[in-house]
A = this chain, B = another copy of it.
Amino acid sequence: MKKHNFSAGPSILAEEVLDQAASAVLNFNNSNLSVLEVSHRGDDFNHVMNTAKLLVKELLNIPQEYEVLFLQGGASLQFYMSALNYMGTHNTGGYIDTGTWSSKAIKEANKTGRSITISSSKDKNYNYIPKDNYISTPIDYLHFTSNNTIYGTQFHKFPQKYNLKLPIICDMSSDIMSREFDITNFDLIYAGAQKNIGPAGTTLVIIKKDTINFNKLPSYLNYHTHIDKGSMFNTPPVFSIYVCMLTLEWLKNKGGINNISEKNNAKANLIYQTIDNNPLFEGVVEKEDRSIMNATFKLKEEHAGLKSQFENICHESGIIGINGHRSVGGYRASMYNALEIESVDTLCQIMNYILKKS
């Protein structure tokens, strides 16, 4: 039975991508070699790396003054690395705290300098996006998380570099490639691949090349090392980058970000309307800040008895990955690019069916 994969990440990939990836594990580009055993210095992989970078630039409309990198260590290493590279005169980073991932970024910033929390939605278990981001202290940069996988909130309007006159750093791990945005608002964007870019194992970094080069930084932790070496400072995660390339090609063939964004909106509208129209369920976060990628919802307390019935039918229908994160509870439907609206529809039909039967 086909699975409806709502996993939060690593997450669903397109079937075409998986077919091509499996075939390249056996025979890559008709070389009679597996993509797993070719040199990263060879022409075939060079072509993969360049194509993947070009596709990122093309899909996101990235101007020349930015570089695209494929690194390792996930957003978790970027939390520290971004602070290490962007702390300047004030030795202080400004952070908008919208949940677990922002908090982790703050923790790592404090390992290399100081952090100031500009605003936070911690008072309501992060169920909204703070709108008032007044900055009263001198800071070197502003950092925020564009989409909060765990809570299901998303910035629908970004803090503006033009107003703030500050470098803006954004963790876009869970919504990059899902909607159009103006890259020139940002100095640094990073994103673990395992949502909309490809499989786990690589981290996409988009960086304005004129960032200060602090020569004394450890080589791996200095963005300029990777800019200078074209993401080949060390042996790159060859297969992960290859599957990212395939996924980006798939996205381009699907009509690019504009097109996928419409599809993503349709999926989100469907599930949120179902939640709002179904008296058994309720959404977890403020409506205006709802994430297009991760819809969080619960059975209302008075209907908690329907839990196992709902979950059993989901299980029988091939739905996986909808358990909410332990810090929120309830359910979370992650609807990344590769998820078809039919999967969302299956979930919604089950929610409606439970209502009819109850």
Q: Using CB atoms and an 8 Å cutoff, list the residues of chain A in contact with chain B.
A: 1-3, 5, 7-13, 18-19, 21-23, 25-26, 31-34, 36-40, 72-77, 79-80, 104, 107-108, 111-112, 192, 194, 199-202, 216-221, 233-240, 243, 318, 320-321
| Chain B residues whose CB sits within 8 angstroms of the CB of A216 once the complex forms | 111
Cβ-defined contact, B36 with A111, below 8 A: no
Kindly list the 7 A-B residue pairs having the minimum CB-CB distance in the complex, ordered from nearest.
A201-B237, A76-B234, A72-B72, A22-B25, A36-B199, A74-B234, A80-B218
| Chain B residues whose CB sits within 8 angstroms of the CB of A12 once the complex forms | 37
CA gap between A74 and B72 in the complex, in Å: 9
Q: Which single residue of chain B is at the shortest CB-CB distance from A71?
A: B73
* Given A39-B321, A221-B80, A235:B200 Cβ within 8 A: yes
> Can you list 12 A-B contacts with CB-CB less than 8 angstroms, sorted by A residue number?
A1-B32, A2-B32, A9-B235, A18-B34, A22-B25, A74-B234, A76-B219, A77-B234, A199-B239, A201-B240, A237-B240, A239-B240
From residue A31, how far is it (CB to closest CB) to chain B in Å?
Answer: 8
* Given A108-B219, A219-B107, A11:B25 Cβ within 8 A: no
List 5 additional contacts besides A72-B201, A80-B221; criterion CB under 8 Å: A13-B37, A19-B26, A111-B219, A192-B235, A200-B238
Interface of A is mostly: loop
| Chain B residues whose CB sits within 8 angstroms of the CB of A38 once the complex forms | 7, 10
From residue A82, how far is it (CB to closest CB) to chain B in Å?
Answer: 12
From residue A24, how far is it (CB to closest CB) to chain B in Å?
Answer: 9
Q: Which residue of B23, B39, B74 is within 8 Å of A7 (Cβ)?
A: B39
